[in-house]
Amino acid sequence: MITDTQSLRQLVDELKAEPFVTVDTEFMREKTYWPKLCLVQLAGAQRAAAVDPLADGIDLAPLGELLADPSVLKVFHAARQDVEIFLLLFGNVPRPMFDTQVAAMVCGFGESVGYETLVNKLAKASIDKSSRFTDWSRRPLTPKQIAYALADVTHLRTVYLKLAKLLEDSGREEWLDEEMATLNAPETYESRPEAAWERIRTRSLDRRFLGLVRELAAWRERQAQSRNVPRTFISKDETLLEMASSQPRSAEDLKRVRGLPKWATEGAGGDEVLTAIERALAENRNALPDREPPRELPRGLGPLIELLKVLLKMKSEEHGVARTLIASQEDLETLALDGSAAQIAALKGWRHEVFGEDALRLLAGEVALGARGRSIAVLSLSGDEAVLQATRRKRRKRKSRKDGEPAGADDAATASDAVAAD
């Protein structure tokens, strides 16, 4: 345990000589808006230590220097919350950075793979998780807590080295770089009150109503930040939606709102809520927020999307990379609707090579999916068959225009014909 600034400085000086350092944190957030940092674990090749940020008089500035040192790679697992803490503490995202969870997805270990799973598979070790939900703010920490905390960075060394080798052998380092771009961007961790409304679920598409939700959600977010309490301690989403619907205009109206704390119904607190409502009601309609209505897919497009799902699953297994890293459900729907004009990541970079190219060929009727033994394969259509598919597409388009069928139905039929033809 490191509990004073001098010992921390000595540790950091040692770790600065390492090519990489594994990093983890223990924090609490159940009763606060901002995470309360309780422990920082660090490990180099020969030494591991836990830094106590709650120790009297300790200055964490040396830790900030280490995290900002461009010559030392900082290795995390599921880094987002750890990075948020360091950004708040030091004003910068740790650089350079490697996330083993993201790397594992690129290497085919599945969706959002857990640390324990990687330790089992790559380090051939197991972790005692019994201390996971202990109170990390209480002092002194027990030897069992410290052992658990250090295991999160000591085994991470092996996990990192194995994943780095897999990435190098498969030539996928650039794939990881693309995925790490989001984690490296400071704006990823911004908590803007003006954008808080986007997390609230509502079926309403009325822009005035959404404007009220935006103002009220921003009010709640600012209150939660300034009081350092979870936003639900201020009010639940249902309460905000109720106020957006009923539009209270006085303190008496606010007192009738269920779930609103007393301080928000009277005095300065109540005035803030009423001002937010008045501001939303006075907003120019062109400045009000807007939400796209739920996408209604044309009749007949469903089978085509299912065909793309089969191709995606096949490519995921073939290349050993998580499906959601290649394309989402929304991506597949957009691809089925817009074809090569679709503005999705699956048609760019390595994703295009792995999946997008064959997906476009499938949509164009140039290839089919068929069984080959116990697996699915992409089967090229002959020249005559391709001409036949094109003729069928033209015939269906003429029939669709004549019968008034929705666009897309002919594409789904074409895909079915392609499989049948093969």
Identify which has the larger pLDDT, 300 or 63. Answer: 63
Q: Quick check: is 306 in a domain?
A: yes
Same domain? 317 vs 173: no
User: Tens of pLDDT along 341-361?
Assistant: 999 999 999 999 999 999 999
Q: Are residues 176 and 247 in the same domain?
A: no
CATH of the domain at 352: 1.10.150
Question: Where a domain ends, among 159, 189, 219?
Answer: 189
> Is residue 414 in some structural domain?
no
Q: What are phi and psi of 379, to 5 degrees?
A: -115, 125
Which amino acid, one-letter code, is at 219? W
- Give the SS3 label for residue 23: strand
End-of-domain residue from the set 232, 252, 287: 287
CA angle 206, 212, 217 (to 5 degrees): 125
Beta strands 20-28; 36-43: pairing state: antiparallel
Q: Which residue has the higher pLDDT, 157 or 412?
A: 157
Angstrom distance (rounded) from CA 180 to CA 318: 23
161, 305: one domain: no
- What letter would DSSP give residue 341? G
In a domain, 296, yes or no: no
Q: Is residue 64 part of a domain?
A: yes
Q: Are 71 and 203 found together in one domain? A: no
Q: Closest Cα partner for 248 from 288, 210, 208, 281?
A: 281
Question: Are 246 and 205 contained in the same domain?
Answer: yes
Write the DSSP symbol of residue 204. Answer: -
Q: Does residue 65 lie within any of the structural domains?
A: yes
Q: Which domain does 359 fall in, by range?
A: 301-380
Dihedral in degrees, nearest 10, Cα atoms 337, 340, 343, 345:
110
Residues 6 or more apart in contact with residue 9 via CB below 8 angstroms: 62
Task: Return the axis-axis angle of helices 143-170 and 173-184, rounded to nearest 10°.
Answer: 130
Residue 27 lies in a domain: yes
Neighbours of 233 (CB within 10 A): 16
129 found inside a domain: yes
Domain boundary among 137, 171, 189: 189
Indicate whether 36 belongs to any domain: yes
- Cα 99 from Cα 182, distance rounded (Å): 11
Task: Enumerate residues 6+ apart whose C-beta is below 8 A from 283.
Answer: 211
**Structure confidence by residue, pLDDT tens digits, 382-408:** 655 555 555 566 666 666 665 655 444
CB 81 within 8 A of CB 141: no
Regarding whether 153 and 203 lie in a shared domain, the answer is no
- Contact call for residues 363 and 303 (beta carbons, < 8 A): no
pLDDT of 220 over the 80 cut: yes
β-partners of residue 37 are 27
Tell me, yes or no, whether 46 and 175 share the same domain.
yes
Measured CA to CA, the distance from residue 375 to residue 402 in angstroms comes to 40
Assess contact for 76 and 104: CB atoms under 8 A: no
Question: Tokens 């209150």 correspond to what residue?
Answer: 223
| 5-32 pLDDT tens trace | 999 999 999 999 999 999 999 999 999 9
142 contact partners, CB below 8 Å, separation of at least 6? 131
> Rounded CA gap, 347 and 357, in Å?
7
**CATH code (residue 66):** 3.30.420.10
Helix 80-90 and helix 61-68, axial crossing angle in degrees, nearest 10: 120
pLDDT of residue 393: 61
Give the CATH number, domain containing residue 220.
Answer: 1.10.150.80
Give the integer Cα–Cα distance in Å for 156 and 60.
23
Mark whether 51 and 70 lie in a shared domain: yes
Structural domain total, the chain:
3
Residues 282, 268, single domain; the answer is yes
185 and 215, same domain (yes or no): no
What are the tens digits of pLDDT across the range 136-145? 999 999 999 9
d(CA 359, CA 369): 11
Residues 318 and 269 occupy one common structural domain: no
Band the pLDDT of 416: cuts 50, 70, 90. Answer: very low
Residues 81 and 47 in one domain: yes
pLDDT digits (tens, 9 = 90+) for 224-276: 999 999 999 999 999 999 999 999 999 999 999 999 999 999 999 999 999 99
